[in-house]
C-alpha cells in the first residue's frame, strides 16, 4: 500500500478513538440517539476503509477481517441501544477500544508500505540518462515504478509553442510506458519523481509541457530528482575557466527545484557546489553539498553494458556495414552538433559536405554513420531558417545517395557500440565514446580535405 493511503488508514483509526469517547459520553448522558448516529458513522467508515484496504492488499487481508469483527461489535452495541436494553457505557467503550486496538496493530504490522517512483523522460534518445536508475528501482519489490514519457513543443522565435511531439512509442520493448494523460499525479503523489530536463520555461528552442516544469512537479512528490541528460568534459575544480564553462548548466530551474541532483563525478559535484554557493551565499554551501551527489551518470552505465553482439541492426544498414564477402568495414560515428552549426553557419555546411565527399570515396573500406544532434531541426529552423533549408537539402541528398548510414533513432548506444571510432564536433558523445574505449577525433570546420579520387 502506498504511504499516503496507509496514513489515511492510520488517521481514520485515530478518529475512531475520538468517536468512541463521544459515544461513551452520549450513553452516560442517556442520549442513545446521538450514540446510535455516531455508531452508524463508525460502521460506514470501517466499511469504506475495509474496501480501500482490500483493493490495495487483495482479498484475505488480515486487517479487513479485523475490521469485519469491529463492525460486528458496533452493530451489536447499536442494536442494544435501539432496543433500549441496559448496558454499561464503560464496558461498551472498552469493548470498542479493544477492537480498535487490534485494527491499529494490524494496520501497523500487516500493511507494508510500497513506494512509487515515476520517471519523466521527454526525448526517447535521452532515456539512457535515466535507464540504469529505472532498472534498479524496477528490481526492488518495495517499489512501484512508472515510465511516463512527456510531450514537448518546438518554440517559435517569439517563444510561443509550435508543434507538439510525443515519443512514447520509441522506447525499448522492455520498458513499459504509461501515457502522461492517464496518470493522476495528485492521486498518486509519487515518493520520487526523476527528470532529465532542467530548463522549465527557459529553453527558447523547445519546452516540455508546462505541467512538467520542475517548479510544478514539486507539488506532487516528496523527492524530485534531477539527473542531467548530457555528459560534459570532467572539470578540474581548481580550473576557474573550466568551471565557468559549466556555469550555465548549474544555474537552471531543475537544479534549484530538485531535492536531489545527481551529476557524473565528484569533480563535477564540486564545481556545481562552488558555483551555486557563489550565487546564493557561502552560508548555503552545506545545503548544496548535501543536495548535489557525484554518483556518476546512467549514460556511462548504458555504454558499459551495450555490446555489438546484442544489437539489432536495421537491414538497410547491413549493405553499408559489410562488404560483399561478408567482412565488416570500419565504422566511423560522425556527430554534428547544434553549437557548431550556429557558430560556423554555412562554413559548417561546407565542412559536412566535405566530410561526406571524403568518406564516400572510401566507402569500400569505411562506413560512415552520421548521427546529427536530435535538437538540430528544432533549433536551427527556429533560429536560422535559411541555414536550416540548406542543411535539410544536404541531409536529404545524403540519405538519398544511400552510401552512408543516417541515424536519427533514439538508440544512441547502438551507434556507440557499433562504431570503431568517433569523428565530429565536441559533445557529450565524446566522453561516452572515450568511456567505451573508442578513438576520438574532433573536426575543424576550417580544414577541408581532398578525397582520394580528387
pLDDT tens track for 223-276: 999 999 999 888 888 888 878 889 999 999 999 999 999 999 999 999 999 999
pLDDT reading at 451 higher than 70 = no
The reported pLDDT for the residue numbered 114 is 83
Strand order across the beta sheet in which 421-424 lies: 405-406, 366-372, 330-336, 421-424, 440-442
Percent of the chain clearing pLDDT 70 (strictly above): 99
The reported pLDDT for the residue numbered 241 is 84
Write the CB contacts of 160 (distance below 8 Å, at least 6 apart in sequence).
Answer: none
Which residue in 365, 362, 337, 363 sits closest to 352, CA to CA? 337
Beta strands in 26-136 (DSSP E): 115-120
The reported pLDDT for the residue numbered 453 is 58
Rounded average pLDDT over 166-193? 95
Residue 383 pLDDT grade (very low, low, confident, very high; cuts 50, 70, 90): confident
Cα separations in angstroms, 22 against 31, 67, 83: 11, 20, 20
Q: CATH homologous superfamily of domain 308-442?
A: Glycogen Phosphorylase B; (3.40.50.2000)
Rounded average pLDDT over 111-118? 90
The reported pLDDT for the residue numbered 169 is 94
Q: Where are the domains of the chain?
A: 3-110, 115-301, 308-442
pLDDT tens track for 419-428: 999 999 998 8
Which is it for strands 152-155 and 206-208: parallel, antiparallel or unpaired? antiparallel
Question: In this structure, what are the phi and psi dihedrals at residue 446, rounded to the nearest 5 degrees?
Answer: -85, -5
Which residue in 222, 296, 233 sits closest to 261, CA to CA? 296
Which residue in 213, 205, 162, 164 sits closest to 185, CA to CA? 213
The reported pLDDT for the residue numbered 218 is 96
Specify which residues 322 forms β-bridges with: 328
The reported pLDDT for the residue numbered 70 is 95
Rounded to whole angstroms, how far apart are CA atoms 373 and 234? Answer: 21
Rounded to whole angstroms, how far apart are CA atoms 281 and 288? Answer: 11
The reported pLDDT for the residue numbered 7 is 87
CB 233 within 8 A of CB 431: yes
What end-to-end distance do the CA atoms of the chain give, in Å?
Answer: 71
Residue 140 pLDDT grade (very low, low, confident, very high; cuts 50, 70, 90): very high
pLDDT reading at 3 higher than 90 = no
pLDDT reading at 454 higher than 60 = no
pLDDT reading at 121 higher than 60 = yes
Question: In this structure, what are the phi and psi dihedrals at residue 213, rounded to the nearest 5 degrees?
Answer: -65, 145
Rounded average pLDDT over 14-40? 95
H/E element holding 179?
none
pLDDT tens track for 284-296: 999 999 999 999 9
CATH 3.20.20 for domain 115-301, yes or no, is no
Question: Other CB atoms closer than 10 Å to residue 172's CB: what's the count?
Answer: 11
Rounded to whole angstroms, how far apart are CA atoms 454 and 80? Answer: 106
Rounded average pLDDT over 300-305? 89
Instruction: Please report which residue ranges of 163-250 form alpha helices under DSSP H.
Output: 185-188, 214-217, 240-250
115-301 and 308-442: identical CATH topology? yes
The reported pLDDT for the residue numbered 33 is 95
The reported pLDDT for the residue numbered 157 is 83
Rounded to whole angstroms, how far apart are CA atoms 451 and 9? Answer: 75
Rounded to whole angstroms, how far apart are CA atoms 437 and 303? Answer: 10
Q: What is the DSSP string of 47-60?
A: HHHHHHHHHHH-TT
Amino acid at each position: 500500500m502506498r504511504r499516503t493511503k496507509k496514513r489515511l488508514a492510520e488517521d481514520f483509526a485515530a478518529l475512531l478513538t475520538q468517536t468512541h469517547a463521544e459515544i461513551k459520553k452520549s450513553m452516560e448522558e442517556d442520549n442513545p440517539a446521538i450514540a446510535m448516529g455516531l455508531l452508524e458513522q463508525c460502521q460506514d467508515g470501517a466499511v469504506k476503509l475495509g474496501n480501500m484496504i482490500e483493493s490495495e492488499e487483495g482479498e484475505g487481508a488480515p486487517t479487513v477481517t479485523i475490521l469485519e469483527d469491529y463492525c460486528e461489535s458496533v452493530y451489536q452495541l447499536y442494536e442494544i441501544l435501539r432496543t433500549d436494553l441496559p448496558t454499561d457505557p464503560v464496558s461498551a467503550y472498552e469493548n470498542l477500544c479493544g477492537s480498535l486496538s487490534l485494527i491499529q496493530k494490524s494496520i501497523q504490522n500487516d500493511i507494508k508500505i510500497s513506494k512509487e517512483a515515476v520517471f519523466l523522460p521527454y526525448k526517447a534518445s535521452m532515456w539512457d540518462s535515466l535507464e540504469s536508475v529505472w532498472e534498479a528501482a524496477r528490481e526492488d519489490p518495495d517499489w512501484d515504478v512508472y515510465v511516463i514519457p512527456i510531450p514537448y513543443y518546438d518554440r517559435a522565435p517569439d517563444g510561443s509553442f509550435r508543434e507538439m511531439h510525443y515519443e512514447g512509442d520509441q522506447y525499448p520493448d522492455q520498458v513499459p510506458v504509461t501515457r502522461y494523460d492517464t496518470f493522476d499525479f495528485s492521486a498518486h503523489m509519487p515518493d520520487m519523481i526523476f527528470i532529465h530536463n532542467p530548463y522549465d520555461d527557459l529553453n527558447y528552442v523547445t519546452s516540455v509541457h508546462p505541467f512538467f516544469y520542475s517548479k510544478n512537479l514539486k507539488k506532487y512528490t516528496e523527492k524530485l530528482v534531477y539527473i542531467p541528460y548530457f555528459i560534459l568534459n570532467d572539470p578540474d575544480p581548481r580550473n576557474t575557466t573550466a568551471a565557468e564553462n559549466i556555469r550555465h548548466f548549474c544555474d537552471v530551474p531543475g537544479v534549484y527545484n530538485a531535492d536531489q541532483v545527481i551529476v557524473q563525478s565528484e569533480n563535477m559535484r564540486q564545481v556545481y557546489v562552488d558555483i551555486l554557493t557563489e550565487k546564493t551565499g557561502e552560508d548555503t554551501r552545506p545545503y548544496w553539498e548535501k543536495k548535489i551527489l557525484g554518483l556518476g551518470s546512467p549514460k556511462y552505465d548504458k555504454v558499459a553494458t551495450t555490446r555489438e553482439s546484442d544489437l539489432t541492426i536495421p537491414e538497410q544498414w547491413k549493405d553499408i556495414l559489410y562488404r560483399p564477402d561478408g567482412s565488416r568495414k570500419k565504422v566511423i560515428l560522425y556527430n554534428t552538433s547544434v553549437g557548431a552549426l550556429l557558430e560556423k553557419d554555412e562554413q559548417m555546411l561546407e565542412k559536412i559536405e566535405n566530410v561526406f565527399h571524403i568518406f564516400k570515396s572510401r566507402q569500400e573500406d569505411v562506413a560512415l554513420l552520421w548521427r546529427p544532434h536530435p535538437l538540430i531541426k528544432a533549433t536551427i529552423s527556429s533560429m536560422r531558417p535559411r541555414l536550416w533549408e540548406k542543411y535539410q537539402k544536404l541531409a536529404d541528398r545524403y540519405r538519398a545517395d544511400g552510401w552512408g548510414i543516417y541515424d536519427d533513432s533514439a538508440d544512441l548506444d547502438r551507434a556507440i557500440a557499433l562504431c570503431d571510432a568517433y569523428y565530429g564536433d565536441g559533445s557529450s558523445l565524446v566522453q561516452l565514446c572515450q568511456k567505451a574505449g573508442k578513438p576520438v577525433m574532433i573536426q575543424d570546420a576550417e580544414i577541408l580535405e581532398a578525397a582520394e579520387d580528387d
